Chains A and B, each alone.
Chain A
Amino acid sequence: MFEKTVAELSRALGRKEFSSAELTTVFLERISRYQNLNAFITVDPERSLAQAKAADVRIARGEGGALTGIPVAQKDIFCADGWLTTCGSKILSNFTAPYDATVIDKLNRAGAVCLGKTNMDEFAMGSSNETSYYGVVKNPWNPETVPGGSSGGSAAAVAARLAPAATGTDTGGSIRQPAALTGLSGLKPSYGRVSRYGMIAFASSLDQGGPLCRTAEDCAWLLNAMAGFDARDSTSVDAPVPDYTKTLDQKIEGLRIGLPKEYFGEGLNPEIAQVIQAAIGEFKQLGAQVLEVSLPNSQLAIPCYYVLAPAEASSNLSRYDGARYGFRASDYKDLLDMYCKTRAEGFGPEVKRRIMIGTYALSAGYYDAYYLKAQQLRRLIAEDFRRAFEVCDVIMGPTSPSTAFKIGEKTDDPVAMYLNDIYTVPINLAGLPGMSVPAGFDARGLPIGLQLIGKYFDEARLLNVAHRYQQVTDWHQRTPKGFS
């Protein structure tokens, strides 16, 4: 059962080969068996099973939809009514969300079963899942390596078949990079496609929720339910949601693929370069044309991002002050002391680092040199993409400059850690949709991801292109050893 994709499970549930309760039990048992991966922060079998049974009733009445009864692991960044929602932080270690995020609400309405809340980098700030207050997550492909981040728990859970699908969020690569490092298909939709309401904010102008699945087809199924206009989010775009599964099989003959030369320069592991070239070769076989494009300001995306994201975060995280919810320090002498101790004890080192950088970038006398400069660069980066898309339909390249690295390898060097996002961050800055799909393995057997970048709101095309690729390759069907 656990080897099946969402699409397969949905068909099986519809044919009543097994019930959602049985299916959910299988996954709950696996979650419990593979606890050592530390993929989940919270599991609540009773709650999950209650949802599964309700889904079974819907299916029995013939009222089920595509996702009814499908267990989905939720990144612990999404508020889910009645569920502990920590965002990977101590400061929310006692926070039982009193409302549902729009994504959660939409998946609930679709009949999906919440399988639990997955581990993540604290407030999504990290590329390795090592900043979580709830401990590191292990990569099922090699438990000594990281699963990537920040949606590392979601990625590890789906890769280890502890869940058929999971939600993630992506501010600078947090869906695509872990998908690449764990051999999954992950989609970061266009900014404004998926509601951010109830998705705990890291950097508001960059954050976007999306699915982490085994296949592009499953991503399409999940996105169908997750996407759409939300009146509660002023940045949500009021545009109809197409049925993303309908266009999956379209032919891609004549597709113009742009390869940004900046994505294949130094710093890219040659093994990865080779795998990406091989993947491009497959697309040529499928009839695509390949041409070189240029994203000249891409190399400045990391500096730009590390101003904008921390600046927004420093403000977004001010609400965690111990006054209305969450952790409050136990010993303080006055209000200021309560604030300072609550936040010093409640936030981990990486979060504090980013709060301070962001505070600095916004502070009097530095705003123009940092924040404004970064916003100007952001426009140049977005312009690069606009120009490139005048000559191509999809841009492709590596998702990550390296495969999964060893736990602890980069924790002492934040700058080295930040450079993991070099290929993913520009897409967030431009607000475009991006995807990572498995395209091969390195010599150590660790997965390598191919990144696909689309035009604004062109998710359907990305999913179609990825799906066609997955019909002629089997990288997405590999299971890490010990989990089949």
Chain B
Amino acid sequence: MATNQLDDTTLAELREIAARYPEARSGLLPMLHLVQSAQGRITPEGIEACAAILDISPAEVSGVATFYTMYKRHGVGDYHVGVCTNTLCAVMGGDEIFARLKEHLEIGNDEVAVQRQGDSRTVSLEHIECNAACDYAPVVMVNWEFMDNQTPESAVQMVEALRAGHEVSSTRGPRLCTWREAERVLAGFPDGRVDEGPTAGEASLAGLRIARERGWTAPDPAQTPAVEAKESEA
């Protein structure tokens, strides 16, 4: 895709983001998410637009854009697949899943798989750090939505479904949207999918289920033993 200037709508939305904060510069992280949504990646034009709106130098914006791992300077697929290979998920099978996907997609880390004839969508692959779902290990994220409890086989099936353009849902979230659409949500523009998916996945409910089975609750406030007012902890 040729590099191009941001359109007026996007520029207006960038300003809108900056205006949410007491100091405009605070908007930079969500603004860069919007740039990714609009342009498919972090572009020099995007950097310059943010710099101009925030009245800081493009070098300072580049510093921010290159610090955080979600900002991509090269394109990603419609579906960006992240396999957690931090210790717990790796041990639980993440390493095997990542190896299998690399082999299956014929790409290395942080690359986009070739779009074959018949693929209506593209997929990219990256190994990622802990995504705070360790009780669902091994975890794969697709456009930063949870795909819990994966195996090499389920992961391959998933990417094939994605490439074929089938509707795929998060294991405890919404139908998956594209990477650019997800970036827009991160920029602070809701997309209406909030009510899809359950309140909590099964693992999250593990403790609660046991408490329900055994009739365990938090103490009844009415029955709290009287204690003398004591000094707060030094």
A in complex with B: no
